[in-house]
Structure 1
Amino acid sequence: MNRQIGGNLNKVRNIGLYNIEIWKAAGMALDRVEIVWLSDEISRHGDEYWPLVMDIARKNTVSGLTRSLRIRDPTEGLTSDEIFNPCLQCASMLFQKEFICRKIEYAFCPPNVVKDNPCLGYIRYVILPLFGKFEVVRKKENGGDKTFLSMEELAADYVSGALHPSDVKLALAKSLNDILQKKLLTIDHQ
């Protein structure tokens, strides 16, 4: 819970809604975007999320958890939610990773079709610009690992069938999770 905004869940959601309005004002086309609130996902999948939180709590000590807090003297005046919050944050990160993998696994990705293929769109507009490459890890009998440096190269393999949708999806989920992990590490060290 973010204490900077008073720990109020309604304020957290209002800030999220404000960000959506900023995206619209900036010209983002949100008509084909699904906004997913982590709090809603946690509510829907509580039977998976809360055991993960408790597992993280069991595997860490109080001194280890307090080291992750961004306060000067973690020994004075801590409330139990401040100590427990790192467990929630860690579980949320792990939960989001699983959520991304699950969403990409069921994403529309027609074989041999590049046009209007949302998975390939993510690669074209997000992965390649950020990483300069798209890495596919496959078994040797399926063609072995391959690194694509351009969308044209990837599209040629995809249209020919040399690159299978399931390989694209696995590599895309990994790349998206790498972006998420990189962003979370950046936030953590600011």
Structure 2
Amino acid sequence: MDLEERVQLICKRPVEEVLTIEELKMLLQTKSTPVAYNGFEPSGPMHLGTGLLPALKIKDFTQAGVKYKILLATWHAKLNNKFGGDLDKIRRVAKHFIEGWRALGIDESMVEFVMADDLISQKDYWELLLKISERVTLSNVIRALPIMGRKESENLRFGSYIYPLMQVTDIFMLGADIAQLGMDQRKANVLAKEVGPALGLWSPVAVHHHLLPSLTGPTKMGFDENPKLDVQISSKMAKSKPESAIFIYDNEEEIRSKLRKAFCPEKQIENNPVIDYVKNLILRSDSDKILIERPSIKGGPVEVNLTQLVELYQKGEIHPLDLKNAVAEWLIKTLEPVRKRFVSEELESYFPNVFSKKA
């Protein structure tokens, strides 16, 4: 695989931003097996945004010859008061996350799972965090707080302000050449790019992916000064609102039912969650196609790439319900290995407030 093919894989949707393409190319040319990382708070059941989308992106990186480290951010979740700060529950869910990604088919020969417990137990971790703290201002830290899913104006405990410093420290302790996180975490990565060289370390390449929206449509909550990014962060799929998320273990009828109710304005592309799922999960390359079953009066079945889909949808030649049905069938097929791996009783033991036993 040549350089351009590797770059295209890494930059493939749902990636929105790379800081910078030139740095990425130089890294791939000078290091045979670069290391990328992403971090996840084990804070609840896995939905499309925490399960399927990362799995697709991890596969892109490993196919491009990049070793991928997944940080199970247990102590970060505690600082964020997930599960009431109960570390035993958080650690148990971390193991559940690993099983979810395995069911989604990641290449474990190129993937390493790292528990934050192991990382922060190292003396060097806290020495580095203190050195980083000497190089940043309180303003820098506050600007990076949306990585916790919280706004700057909220009344936070002091421990919350350590969180962005931990995320910067994670990058260097993991030896990550590439920080591959969501758009809501870009400010922490920018901080790492600035601080690294000042400490005699490296400036990691930052690869930021799009955040999948919830089923309920766009909202604004003031997470970012950029209006479009604010909508993306504010509207992202959340496990805390089960009715607005598709979980990777949802059964066939649950997937169909949730999508039927999804916000999907006719002829509208922007801020349309169903179009978003097509773009960032299904038709991630120009050559990818999806079959839309339409009634004969509307022209019958049509197989389209993303450009064709957008054109037909804007013209009203693809009805929202037909699009929803096509997305539902793709998800049902793609998530089948996960449904086979997990049973309802097991899910209820992890997340009793979300799942109930099925007959």
TM-score after normalising by structure 1: 0.52
1:111 aligns with 2:304: no
Matched residues in 1 for 2:97 and 2:301: separation?
Answer: 41
1:152 aligns with 2:307: yes
Residue 124 (structure 1) aligned to one of 270, 275, 279: 279
| Matched-pair identity in % | 24
Q: 1:129 to 1:166 in 2, by over 3 A?
A: same
Q: Give 1:170 deviation, angstroms.
A: 0.7
Whether the 8 Å CA contact 2:294–2:318 is kept in 1: the answer is no
1:142 aligns with 2:346: no
The aligned residue for residue 173 of structure 1 is 328
Q: 1:183 to 1:132 in 2, by over 3 A?
A: farther
1:15 aligns with 2:95: yes
Matched residues in 2 for 1:145 and 1:119: separation?
Answer: 19
Please give the per-residue CA displacement for 1:38-74, whole angstroms capped at 9, x wherever unaligned: xx89xxxxxxxxxxxxxxxxxxxxxxxxxxxxxxxxx
CA-based RMSD: 3.8
Q: Give 1:183 deviation, angstroms.
A: 5.6
The aligned residue for residue 224 of structure 2 is none
Structure with a larger share of its residues in strand: 2
Moved over 3 A (4+): 9-12, 14-19, 182-185
Q: Give 1:13 deviation, angstroms.
A: 2.8
Matched residues in 2 for 1:15 and 1:102: separation?
Answer: 29
Q: 1:179 to 1:106 in 2, by over 3 A?
A: same
Secondary structure at 1:27 match in 2: strand
Aligned length in residues: 123
Matched residues in 2 for 1:103 and 1:175: separation?
Answer: 14
The aligned residue for residue 81 of structure 1 is none
Matched residues in 2 for 1:110 and 1:16: separation?
Answer: 36
Q: 1:162 to 1:35 in 2, by over 3 A?
A: same
Q: Which residue type is aligned with residue 288 of structure 2?
A: G
Matched residues in 1 for 2:325 and 2:317: separation?
Answer: 15
The aligned residue for residue 59 of structure 1 is none
Please give the per-residue CA displacement for 1:77-125, whole angstroms capped at 9, x wherever unaligned: xxxxxxxxxxxxxxx96x5222211111111111111111111011011
Q: Give 1:128 deviation, angstroms.
A: 1.1
Matched residues in 2 for 1:178 and 1:17: separation?
Answer: 20
Q: 1:154 to 1:182 in 2, by over 3 A?
A: farther
Q: Give 1:138 deviation, angstroms.
A: 2.1
Q: 1:135 to 1:27 in 2, by over 3 A?
A: same
Gaps of 5+ in 1: 1-8, 42-91
Matched residues in 2 for 1:119 and 1:36: separation?
Answer: 20
Matched residues in 2 for 1:27 and 1:99: separation?
Answer: 29
The within-5 A match list for 1:16-165 is 16=96, 26-28=180-182, 29=184, 31=233, 32-35=236-239, 96-129=251-284, 132-149=288-305, 151-165=306-320
Q: Give 1:17 deviation, angstroms.
A: 7.2
Please give the per-residue CA displacement for 1:15-54, whole angstroms capped at 9, x wherever unaligned: 35789x99x77413464122279xx89xxxxxxxxxxxxx
Q: Which residue type is aligned with residue 326 of structure 2?
A: A
Q: 1:113 to 1:36 in 2, by over 3 A?
A: same
Matched residues in 2 for 1:180 and 1:120: separation?
Answer: 19
Matched residues in 2 for 1:104 and 1:119: separation?
Answer: 8
Q: Which residue type is aligned with residue 282 of structure 2?
A: I
Q: Give 1:181 deviation, angstroms.
A: 1.9
Q: Which residue type is aligned with residue 146 of structure 1?
A: V
